[in-house]
Amino acid sequence: MTKSNEERGLRDELADYARKLVEMNLLEFKGGNLSARIGDHDMLVTRRSSAKGAFHDDDVVRTSITELDDNSRLASSTYEIHRAIYLRTDARAVIHAHPGQTVSLSLFLDELIPQDENGMLYLRPKVSVVAPPLLFGWNLVADQMAACLETENVVVQKWHGTFAKGQDLAEAFHRTRAVEFMSAHLIRIEQLRMSLGDPTPLPSQMATVIGGVPGRDLKSLA
């Protein structure tokens, strides 16, 4: 089947961001998965066990969002989570990564609350942590993960990794990086608390425009 310009472009983007995730230590060489919505009913998603660090065009499959088809069995092992996110949210792209510091925090916490301004800006109000009932039972909590992303930008699967939504792959990638930066801050705060005491809390009131002067409405950055 001849691929449209849109599909060829999205396949190139999936390959590009897959390599970026590996290069930036947000993913193992063959770990994680990425997808992008195409048309009204389909998504492009990385193939099961594909090597994200050495990506090829045939490492992407096109499959339905609304029903199982012949390509569903070829898709990523967390295909059902991607599918649920597209069915329940306005996401145009989803990135599932394994950022180390965030996963480590998920072993101890059931939600991550930003303590820095950038974390608040990109990830407010919080990042939920969802625990599957069985080891490797990732898709058993697909609907719960998707429900979190109705109001949040990133959700963490406990013991495993993050799912970030975006209006494109760039936004989903940015949010994946942002949650790892936030997690690093949370870990450093706890390390420094013993010697420096409690950190200065964020102001309780928020400016109505970014930077505190007219320009960009903060609501548009949620």
pTM: 0.91
DSSP strand pairing (161-166 vs 93-97): antiparallel
For the chain, the straight-line distance linking the first and the last C-alpha, in angstroms and rounded, comes to 39
Question: CATH number of the domain that 153 lies in?
Answer: 3.40.225.10
DSSP code for 200:
P
Of 125, 121, 165, residue with least CA distance to 145:
165
Q: What is the pLDDT of residues 47-88, one digit of tens each?
A: 887 878 888 778 899 999 988 777 667 677 888 999 999 999
Q: Quick one: average pLDDT of 5-13?
A: 92
% the chain with pLDDT above 70: 93
Of 190, 182, 26, 197, residue with least CA distance to 97:
26
Reported as a pLDDT band with limits 50, 70 and 90, residue 174 is very high
What are residue 63's DSSP bridge partners? 43
Helix or strand holding residue 86 (H, E): helix 79-88
Q: What is the pLDDT of residues 15-51, one digit of tens each?
A: 999 999 999 999 999 889 999 999 889 999 998 878 7
Domain of 109 in residue numbering reads as: 5-221
Q: How many domains does the chain have?
A: 1
